[in-house]
Amino acid sequence: MDYDFKTAAANYEDAMIADLKALVAIDSERDTDNATTDAPLGPGPAQAIKHALAMAQRDGFTTKNVENVAGRIELGSGNEILGVLGHVDVVPAGEGWTTDPFKPEIKDGKMYGRGTADDKGPVIAAYYALKILRDLNVPLNKQVHMILGSDEESEWYGMDRYLASEPTPDFGFSPDAEFPIINGEKGIASFLVSQKRVAPKQAATTLTSFSAGIRPNMVPVSATATLAGTIPADFADQVQTFAMTNDVTAELTPTDRGVSITLVGQGAHASTPAIGVNAGTYLAAFLINSSLDLDPAAMAYLNTITAYMHRDTTGKLLGINYADRKMGELTASPDIFNFSQDGKQTVLINIRYPQGTTADQIRDQIESTIGDDLVTVTIDGHAQEPHYVPESDPLVQTLLDVYTEHTGLEGHEMIIGGGTYGRILDRGVAFGAQMPGAPDIMHLPNEYIKIEDVVRAAAIYADAIARLAK
């Protein structure tokens, strides 16, 4: 029997808009500083999980809440489980918005707000795919579990807790990337470079603090340094000359002891650092090359950043550049900078690496290149290994067929540096909802999703689930 998924999705457009607006309005950034027993990841992620499950209960679906950090919406029956894995958490809103990131607005057919594209818009599309299948009485011979996590942008705690007590799907997809399909993902690991203590020496100027970055998977938009002591008379001119010649902006503010300088670059997702302008490395490069007579700890810290990280997104300066024929080049993105004279003196580098190398090899090489007498390097958190599902797999072929039939565009495999829940499953991929050629605005200010893309994705997902679960 043929089903008109496109018309069914179009009939739900207004409802999708309303539900997406309500979900985007929840600031679901991880906030463990305000965690409670009922909200282990903070109030926002817990609220988003409960809201999504309440939406499904409103519509008559069976749901399961796992500790307010993950949830499940169910459809169909059978021995096998098809997983549809999305997330309702978001990265911090950050700077540079022209609208309120948590008061979604629709302009020119686009809904603006943090999480619209990553991943609340695709989640709504996938949820309405389940509604469409139920409305049309499409027979499903497998269980369909739509599983929602609330910590995908950080440590995947929510999904870990879910899988500890609930059944793991046999195969599935994550609506958290782009079409036509993502069947390969590079390995992901963050490396904390910690500077060893440097012997003090009298200097005219002291770097009292240096900070940039808010999350390991975001290229820092801004960086700030505070300086105490002697400031050259032409320092303001040096700052503006550097800003004008390096496509950044800078602001100098006098303080009681010296000055504070804030430099603003361009944010990007850490999987595509080349499209950003890393404020942290640019500020370090300016300071190390200025006429300041800086203290030794500052000189060592800024020199490490400038010599081994500045304007290099492939890891060549660190000696870790590596490429695989299928997965492409390694990318390196220094994303969190912390320096104080008596505290941390660290840089956290987020690295996406292809098959053929390992996180341990990368750690060893970074430390060797910079010098183990100067720094220690540790893997921060859990390293995720590269993931690949062959293009010949029936899962991949079915999804590509659905994509081509709905768009008229040829489907093909793709491998990315980003990480999705698809990699949780041995036979797991990412599938939409971003259309080919669309600008990558995930993690950026003024994030948006086209309403027509949400509706089209709902139809594509409904068709895909119908075929995979038949």
Catalytic residues: 89, 152
Residues in the chain: 470
Distance CA 284, CA 339 (A): 11
Say if residue 234 is exposed, middle or buried (CB neighbours under 10 Å; 0-12, 13-18, 19+).
exposed
Give the amino acid at 251.
E
Q: How far is CA 183 from CA 9, 180, 295, 356, 427, in A?
A: 26, 10, 49, 17, 9
* Residue of 397, 355, 426, 369 lying closest to 170 (CA atoms): 426
Give the amino acid at 155.
E
In this structure, the dihedral spanned by the alpha carbons of residues 243, 244, 245 and 246, taken in order and rounded to 10 degrees, is: 40
Distance CA 132, CA 330 (A): 41
> Residue 216: phi, psi to the nearest 5?
-65, -20
Q: How far is CA 247 from CA 214, 227, 240, 447, in A?
A: 21, 23, 11, 22
First to last CA, the chain: 12
Give the amino acid at 108.
D
